[in-house]
Amino acid sequence: MKTQVAIVGGGPAGLLLSQLLDLSGIDSIVIERRSRDYVLGRIRAGVLEAGTVGLLREAGVSDRMDRDGQTHDGFEISWHDERLRIDLAGMTGKPVTVYGQTEVTRDLYTARDERGGEIIHEAEVVRIESTESDRPIVVFEKNGEEHRIEARFIAGCDGFHGPCRRAIPEGVRREFVREYPFGWLGLLSRSKPANSELIYAAHERGFGLCSMRSDAVSRYYVQVPLTEKLEDWPADRFWDELKRRIPVDVASQLQSDGEVLEMSVAPLRSFVSEPLRHGSLFLAGDSGHIVPPTGAKGLNLAASDIFYLHRALDAFFNSASNEGIVNYSAKALSRVWKSERFSWWMTSILHDFPEMNAFEKRMQKAEFDYLAQSEAAQRSLAENYVGLPY
The whole-angstrom separation of Cα 335 and Cα 313 is: 19
The whole-angstrom separation of Cα 186 and Cα 32 is: 26
pLDDT for 207 equals 98
Assess whether 390 carries a catalytic annotation.
no
Q: What are the distances in angstroms from CA 1 to CA 4, 14, 112, 125, 133?
A: 11, 19, 19, 14, 17
Assess whether 385 carries a catalytic annotation.
yes
Catalytic residue among 278, 297, 331, 351: 297
Catalytic residue among 200, 221, 308, 328: 200
| Total residue length of the chain | 390
Assess whether 94 carries a catalytic annotation.
no
pLDDT for 44 equals 77
Q: Which residues contact 301 (CB under 8 A, 6 or more apart)?
A: 285, 289, 291, 335, 336, 339
- Domain extents for the chain? 5-72+96-177+269-349, 182-268+353-386
User: Whole-model pTM?
Assistant: 0.96
Does the structural domain 5-72+96-177+269-349 have CATH classification 3.50.50.60? yes
Catalytic residue among 292, 293, 310, 351: 293
Burial 76-110 (b: 16+ CB within 10 A, else e): bbbbeeeebebebeebbebbbbbbbbbbbbbbbbe
Assess whether 297 carries a catalytic annotation.
yes
The whole-angstrom separation of Cα 208 and Cα 238 is: 11
Confirm whether 5-72+96-177+269-349 and 182-268+353-386 share one CATH topology.
Answer: no
Average pLDDT along the chain, 390 residues, taken 10 residues at a time: 98 98 98 96 87 98 97 96 95 97 96 98 98 98 97 98 97 97 96 96 97 93 96 97 97 95 95 98 98 95 98 98 98 98 98 95 96 98 97
CB 190 within 8 A of CB 216: yes
Query: Could you give the 3-state DSSP secondary structure of residue 179?
Result: strand
pLDDT for 81 equals 78
The CATH H-level (homologous superfamily) assignment of domain 182-268+353-386 is: D-Amino Acid Oxidase, subunit A, domain 2 (3.30.9.10)
State residue 126 phi and psi, 5-degree precision.
Answer: -105, -25
Q: Which helix (H) or strand (E) holds 48?
A: strand 47-48
Count CB atoms within 10 A of the CB of residue 186: 19
pLDDT for 311 equals 98
pLDDT for 275 equals 98
Angle separating helix axes 50-58 and 12-23, nearest 10 degrees: 50
Catalytic residue among 72, 289, 310, 351: 72
Angle separating helix axes 323-350 and 358-373, nearest 10 degrees: 110
The whole-angstrom separation of Cα 49 and Cα 72 is: 11
With CA atoms as reference, report the closest residue to 7 among 127, 172, 120: 120
pLDDT for 296 equals 93
Catalytic residue among 180, 221, 308, 385: 385
Count CB atoms within 10 A of the CB of residue 15: 29
CB 75 within 8 A of CB 200: yes
Q: Would the CA dihedral through 325, 272, 269, 362 be positive or negative?
A: negative
